[in-house]
């Protein structure tokens, strides 16, 4: 039957939750049967966790594999050229998937060609033939396939035709409102990190590789750890008190997310001055967790004025983080 174009990330026994990346082929051994779900799962929030937990539990009860199928990039980027602010990058999502107990997570490259596939063709190729689906559980707002024709009603009909059971997992509510990625983005944009944490079940953070910059921060006496996010962040451009994890160690600092109007930057950048830290860690992975919004991004009249403001921001951030 040829190659089914998936990236398949399978569980390993590694204590650090590292996932092996392999190329899934139809001639490789496929699950004899699986309990599956499909979605974007940006942020892996409480609603996603409920859905994934149900998939994992039912798979274990029936001796099946628990399988999650997701897409990269987000379909909106391909279909409508809309780049949504991201709540989590793919490596973060994969780690969350594994921590939820999933056996397999498959990331399908979303393309214009894939978008043209009808719901039945997708179900037959990716669910039935690739993973021998025996049960499919989806979220309350689920729809996929060309023109989103794969509604819950259509999936019920296809489940009968291809002999698998189908269920819609109901939404999770918080304070009378549905937990959703949109609601979390709105909370982060207004600096409400406590609400975002409550809806996600953990603090919002940014995972990225430290890149070498023009060394302007070092020249000002405030060297920074620079991360170029792979998509826009759901944060207001400005300054934040933050915590940073590097190689299992925790640090505190002050972060700026934006375009650095005083000196200029090519695209939005997340740069963090770590307190009491003087190592060069270019190429290493760090996780930055904004804790509190301090002020909007601003263009200063001179570098001396910028330097004085960074000192004030650092002092304020230290006080907040110590409390």
Closest among 217, 208, 246, 236 to 295, alpha carbons compared = 236
pTM, entire model? 0.86
Distance in angstroms (rounded) separating the CA atoms of residues 218 and 222? 5
Give residue 271's pLDDT.
Answer: 94
Give residue 130's pLDDT.
Answer: 83
Distance in angstroms (rounded) separating the CA atoms of residues 94 and 70? 10
Concatenated DSSP letters of 290-306: EEEEEEE----SSHHHH
Closest among 270, 287, 90 to 206, alpha carbons compared = 287
Bridge partners (DSSP) of residue 245 are 250, 287
Give residue 265's pLDDT.
Answer: 66
SS3 90: helix
Closest among 117, 198, 119, 200 to 166, alpha carbons compared = 119
b/e 38-53 (16+ beta carbons within 10 angstroms → b): bbbbbbbbbbbbebbe
CATH 3.30.70.360 for domain 205-322, yes or no, is: no
CB count in 10 Å sphere of residue 276: 8
CB count in 10 Å sphere of residue 266: 8
Dihedral angle sign, alpha carbons of residues 157, 158, 160, 164: negative
The CATH number of the structural domain formed by 6-174 is 3.40.50.620
Q: What is the pLDDT along the chain (323 residues), one digit of tens a residue?
A: 233 344 554 444 344 433 333 333 334 455 568 999 999 999 999 999 999 999 999 999 999 988 898 888 888 888 788 888 999 988 899 889 989 988 888 888 888 888 888 889 989 988 998 888 999 999 988 877 666 777 888 899 999 999 999 999 999 999 999 999 999 999 999 999 999 999 999 999 999 999 987 766 666 768 889 999 888 999 999 999 999 999 999 999 999 999 877 776 667 899 999 999 988 899 999 999 999 999 999 888 888 889 899 999 999 999 999 98
Ranges for all domains in the chain classified under CATH 3.40.50.620 = 6-174
Ranges for all domains in the chain classified under CATH 2.40.30.30 = 205-322
């Amino acid at each position: 039957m040829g190659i089914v174009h998936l990236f398949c990330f399978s569980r390993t026994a590694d204590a650090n939750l590292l996932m092996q990346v392999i190329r899934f082929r139809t001639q490789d051994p496929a699950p004899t049967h699986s309990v599956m779900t499909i979605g974007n799962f940006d942020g892996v929030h409480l609603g996603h966790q409920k859905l994934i937990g149900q998939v994992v539990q039912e798979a274990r009860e029936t001796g099946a594999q628990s399988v999650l199928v997701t897409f990269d990039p987000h379909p909106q980027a391909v279909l409508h050229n809309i780049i949504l602010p991201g709540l989590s990058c793919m490596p973060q999502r994969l780690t969350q998937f594994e921590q939820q107990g999933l056996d397999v997570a498959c990331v399908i490259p979303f393309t214009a060609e894939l978008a043209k596939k009808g719901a039945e063709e997708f179900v037959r190729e990716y669910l039935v033939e690739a993973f021998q689906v025996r049960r499919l559980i989806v979220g309350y707002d689920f729809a996929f396939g060309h023109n989103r024709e794969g509604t819950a009603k259509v999936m019920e009909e296809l489940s009968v035709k291809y002999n698998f059971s189908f269920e819609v997992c109901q939404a999770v509510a918080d304070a009378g409102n549905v937990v959703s990625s949109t609601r979390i983005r709105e909370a982060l944009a207004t600096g409400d990190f406590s609400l975002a944490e409550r809806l996600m079940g953990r603090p919002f953070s940014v995972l990225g590789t430290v890149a070498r910059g023009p060394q302007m921060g070092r020249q000002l006496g405030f060297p920074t750890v620079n991360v170029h996010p792979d998509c826009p962040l759901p944060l207001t451009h400005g300054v934040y008190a933050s915590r940073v994890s590097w190689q299992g160690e925790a640090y505190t600092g002050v972060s700026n997310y934006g375009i650095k109007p005083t000196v200029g930057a090519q695209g939005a950048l997340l740069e963090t001055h770590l307190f009491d830290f003087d190592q060069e860690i270019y190429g290493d992975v760090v996780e930055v967790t904004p804790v509190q919004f301090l002020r909007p991004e601003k263009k200063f009249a001179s570098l001396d004025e910028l330097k004085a403001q960074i000192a004030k921001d650092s002092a304020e951030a230290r006080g907040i983080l110590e409390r």
